[in-house]
């Protein structure tokens, strides 16, 4: 079943890309993804600027209604069924431990577009015909939101779910440069936004030194730029291969790698130990595990 579902999702994504879509320029005639430029960063705050050069628009029809699907390259959307499917620009931020966030957004230029009916997030139904996956998207509007004569969402930003990578606390901000007035059929597009995130009541520095994992945070956490440390083989560990991954494993973190990485792995100079851990490679998963 897992393989079937994966095939369906890949097929659905490919079909969406293949559908006709047009580029609506805000200030760039050539299609480009939004840019995120770091302006300031220290242990108390992060400040960055988002520039949205344009958006992709494609039409989808259901019965007598033609909707528009809006896309920003390399960005995500909220997925609550029935709400307007609006793209967002998301950033991941390294945080001091336990910090709360105070987020402010300063809007630049705002453009207005008429005669839009943004599609609601659809319900996707998957069926199989002789083993071939087929899908159906059903668009059902949330009557409260689509009955509003104000711009949705009301707030330009929302806080992302918190997490931890190794010892680094991670949070983030979603920003909505495109808002939709359902009753008037209008879009309000802010093509430049300056975001300031203040860290309050946190302990320690915003950015933790993760050693060999510093490289993994670059380009992912907007305020992380520490150099990575070289790998080396621990004197009290071993590197082994097993065919199956047990469901209950005592480990600190896992890294997924392709087969080629295992094939080309330098056996005597591959990894660095953090504390007293024994290195294992489980199938395609590398883990620092089994405390000794």
**Residue-wise pLDDT tens digits, 121-175:** 999 999 888 888 888 899 999 999 999 999 999 999 999 989 888 889 999 999 9
User: Strands 110-113 and 163-165: what pairing?
Assistant: unpaired
Measured in whole angstroms, the distance separating CA 120 from the mean position of its chain's CA atoms is 20
Both tokens of 51, joined, read 């520039």
Q: Report the top-level CATH class of 2-200.
A: mainly beta
**Mind listing the pLDDT tens digit for each residue in 91-128?**
999 999 999 999 999 999 999 999 999 999 999 999 88
pLDDT at 19 over 80: no
Question: What mean pLDDT, rounded, does the chain reach?
Answer: 78
**Mind listing the pLDDT tens digit for each residue in 198-219?**
999 999 899 988 877 787 787 7
Phi, psi of 214, deg, nearest 5: -60, -40
Q: What is the pLDDT of residue 129?
A: 86
Distance CA 81, CA 122 (A): 6
Both tokens of 4, joined, read 């079937």
Q: What is the pLDDT of residue 237?
A: 47
Delimiting residues of CATH 2.60.40.3800 domain(s) in the chain: 2-200
- Residue 260 — pLDDT band, cuts 50, 70, 90? low
Return the top range by mean pLDDT from 18-27, 66-75, 96-105: 96-105
pTM (predicted TM-score)? 0.72
Helix (H) or strand (E) holding 136: strand 132-138
């Amino acid at each position: 079943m897992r393989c079937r579902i994966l095939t369906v999702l890949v097929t659905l994504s490919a079909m969406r890309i293949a559908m006709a879509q047009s580029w609506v320029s805000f200030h760039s005639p050539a299609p480009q993804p939004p840019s995120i430029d770091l302006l300031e960063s220290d242990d108390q705050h992060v400040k960055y600027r988002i520039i949205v050069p344009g958006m992709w628009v494609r039409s989808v029809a259901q019965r007598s209604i033609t909707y528009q699907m809006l896309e920003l390259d390399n960005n995500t959307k909220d997925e609550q069924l029935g709400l307007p499917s609006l793209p967002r620009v998301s950033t991941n931020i390294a945080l001091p431990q336990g910090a709360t966030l105070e987020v402010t957004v300063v809007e630049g230029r705002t453009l207005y577009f008429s005669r839009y009916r943004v599609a609601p997030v659809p319900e996707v139904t998957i069926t199989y015909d002789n083993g071939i996956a087929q899908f159906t998207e059903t668009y059902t509007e949330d009557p409260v939101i689509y009955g509003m004569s104000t711009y949705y969402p009301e707030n330009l930003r929302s806080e992302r779910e918190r997490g931890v990578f190794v010892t680094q606390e991670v949070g983030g901000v979603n920003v909505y440069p495109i808002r939709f007035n359902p009753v008037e059929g209008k879009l309000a597009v802010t093509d430049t936004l300056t975001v300031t995130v203040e860290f309050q009541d946190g302990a320690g520095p915003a950015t933790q030194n993760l050693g060999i994992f510093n490289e993994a945070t670059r380009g992912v956490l907007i305020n992380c730029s520490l150099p990575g440390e070289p790998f080396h083989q621990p004197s009290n560990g071993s590197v082994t291969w097993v065919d199956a991954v047990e469901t209950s494993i005592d480990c600190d973190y896992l890294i997924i790698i392709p087969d080629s990485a295992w094939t080309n792995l330098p056996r005597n100079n591959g990894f660095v130990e953090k504390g007293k851990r024994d290195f294992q490679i489980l199938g395609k998963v590398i883990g620092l595990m089994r405390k000794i």
